[in-house]
Amino acid sequence: MKKITEVVWALAEPAVQAQGCRIWDVEYVREAGQWFLRVYIDKPEGISINDCEAVSRPLSDALDEADPIEGSYVLEVSSAGADRPLKKPAHFQQFLGAEVDVRLYRPLDGRKEYTGVLKGYLFKDAVKNRVFVTDTPQKGAKTCETRYRTLTKRGGLSLVECELITGRTHQIRAQFAHAGHPLLGDGKYGKLDPHADRRYQALYSYRLTFCFTTDAGVLAPLNGRSFQVADVEFVKTYFPDFRLPGIAE
């Protein structure tokens, strides 16, 4: 007898493929006394709310007709997200050569979580006034590296904190778009989400830390100091219950 997740995967496949997407994973879990059926979808240019809605409607009808699950449950269709788990051989194959976020059952050197890193090669097209990211070296391209960690998730969106290791033009925007997760409101490297009512990218430098490696002259007293804003507009809008980590955290 097939597992519920396998049956749902087969039922969801036509609706997902019709949107030019693919299924990343299917979960059937119980949380706080309620069963949740979660279908995670993916595509190279990133998943929008429209994609989720377009898959959810026909999938709900197919589930009603096939009735593979006894009892009540909540159906959720969402993006696999930037912090997606890698479970299947195809998942690991897709991210060969990439650094990933690893969570361990037991601590290793006192740690159970490790931060992810986006690496690539970035080159600028002056005519189109935009940059492009590739996974392999290209003529004229420079290395680009961004560390990130996911702070929270809500409504199909992920709030991500980034640390620039290199400082290239449009680096964060281009790298996340290349990874299939463009920034909300970024019409240059992604697509504007009509449901979000946002026309500029949700990107904000909320903390600045000075770490000089050479003689800083008159700025030397700032070495090691951090400055942070009290709040960020889009965080309050899309993640109202989240509090930004403080400088000491």
- Alpha helix segments (H runs only) across the chain: 4-18, 49-66, 89-94, 171-178, 233-238
Q: Tell me the per-residue pLDDT of 37-48, one tens digit each, with 9 for 90 and over.
A: 999 998 887 788
Which carries the bigger pLDDT value, residue 225 or residue 80?
225
- Alpha helix segments (H runs only) across 119-209: 171-178
What are the backbone angles phi and psi of residue 118, rounded to the nearest 5°?
-100, 125
- Write out the E strands in 64-197: 74-79, 102-108, 111-114, 116-125, 130-134, 142-154, 157-164
User: Averaged over 1-21, what is the pLDDT?
Assistant: 89
**Which has the minimum average pLDDT: 9-13, 102-106, 154-158?**
102-106
The reply to whether the predicted model has a pTM over 0.75 is no
Q: Tell me the per-residue pLDDT of 68-95, one tens digit each, with 9 for 90 and over.
A: 998 899 999 988 876 677 777 777 767 6
pLDDT band at 155 (very low <50, low <70, confident <90, very high): confident
pLDDT at 171: 94
